[in-house]
Amino acid sequence: MKGADIVCSCTDSMVPTFDPEWLEPGMFVVNVNDFEVGQEHLKYFDIAIRQGDEKIKLADGNGFLNSVGGGTGGYVAGNDEQLASVPFAEDTDNAHQALPTFADLVSGAVAGRSSDKEITYYENQGNNGLQFASCGGAVYTKCKQKGLGIEIPTEWFLEDIRN
């Protein structure tokens, strides 16, 4: 990580993937799941924003457990010995859910980066797909400005038949 401007942790790890002491001024940190950046990491960030609400909480029961694995939970079956081998993740929701959202940032409810020395963190959880639409829109605008690409008629993607 030394000397990096952007640090992307893109794993399915259920534990933090880097030591927060490795962070340097000016770094931008982004993750795929909130287990990669532990609660102890949050105090190192000058600006920390979460994309949105990361998941819908379902009630534990009938074989479903929220805290199993690195995702939104899972259905678990097996005997007692098998169930004992299932990995349970550290609960990071409280600290991470307290972070301001991307909507807070763009609405001006919270301030963004004010110095290139600030360490910033973007919790890439919730509002799934927002990052793709945002990047796609920026790429589309740049291409239009440069006269690149071929305009495809909207009619090709529309129908007047109701199914």
Q: What domains appear along the chain, each with residue ranges and CATH number?
A: 6-55+91-157 (3.40.50.720)
- Output the pLDDT for position 41: 94
pTM of the entire structure?
0.66
Mean pLDDT of the region 12-19 = 88
Cβ(81)–Cβ(106) below 8 Å: no
Chain mean pLDDT for the chain: 84
- Residue 23's pLDDT band, with cuts at 50, 70 and 90, is very high
Q: What are the beta bridge partners of residue 7?
A: 29
Pairing between β-strand 28-31 and β-strand 47-50 as defined by DSSP bridges: unpaired
142: helix, strand or coil: helix
- Residue 52's pLDDT band, with cuts at 50, 70 and 90, is confident
Could you report the per-residue pLDDT of 84-116, keeping only the tens digit for each?
Answer: 777 776 655 577 778 999 889 999 999 999 999
The rounded distance, in Å, linking the Cα atoms of 129 and 118 is 27
